Amino acid sequence: MPLYPEAKMPFETAAGVENRSGGYVDTAGVLLFLWSLLPEGVDYTQPYITPMNAQSHNGLPPALLITCGYDMLRDVGHQYAQKLAASGNVITYVHYPELPHGFIQMTRHSAHCMESTREIAELLGKALAKNS
C-alpha cells in the first residue's frame, strides 16, 4: 500500500516545483531523506529505491496507491499508478487533491485527515479480505 510513494525523484514534475519549500515535507526534504538513508555514492535511481525505474512492472501484487494534491510526490505517484495499471496489475488508486503529504499523521488535528485515513483503512481491509 504505497502512501504518497517516492516512486521516482520528483525534481522535474509540476508537483516537485509547486511543493519545493514550505510544506510539511518539501522537495528538498525528499533528497535529504535519501541522503540519510543511503550510503554516499549509492545510485538512488536503482529500482529498489525508486521503483518507477524498474525495467518491468509485470506480475506485482495488488496495490492500493494513495496520492495527495499538496505533495511533491503527487505526480510521480500518479505516473506509478498508471504504469502499474498499464502492466496489468490490480491497482486501486485514490487521490486526495486537498490534502498534504503526510496527512495520515495529522488525524489528531484534522477531521478530514481522519476521515480519509479511515477510508484508506476500509479499502485496505476489503482488499486484504478479498485476497486472503
| Domain residue extents for the chain | 14-130
Do residues 63 and 84 touch, judged by C-beta distance below 8 A? yes
The pLDDT score that the predictor gives to residue 27 is: 75
Which single residue is written with the C-alpha cell 486472503?
Answer: 132
Task: Please give the span between the terminal C-alpha atoms of the chain, in angstroms, as a whole number.
Answer: 16
The pLDDT score that the predictor gives to residue 22 is: 65
- Max CA separation in the chain (angstroms): 42
Q: Is 45 exposed, middle or buried (0-12, 13-18, 19+ CB in 10 A)?
A: exposed
How does pLDDT run along the chain (132 residues), one tens digit per residue? 999 998 888 888 888 888 777 666 777 777 777 778 888 888 888 898 889 999 999 999 999 999 999 998 999 999 999 999 999 999 999 999 999 999 999 999 999 999 999 999 999 999 999 877
> Cα separation of 68 and 104, whole Å?
11
Helices and strands of the chain, counted as H and E runs = 4, 2
Q: Which long-range contacts (CB under 8 A, 24 or more apart) does 109-114 make?
A: none
Level-2 CATH architecture, domain 14-130 = 3-Layer(aba) Sandwich (3.40)
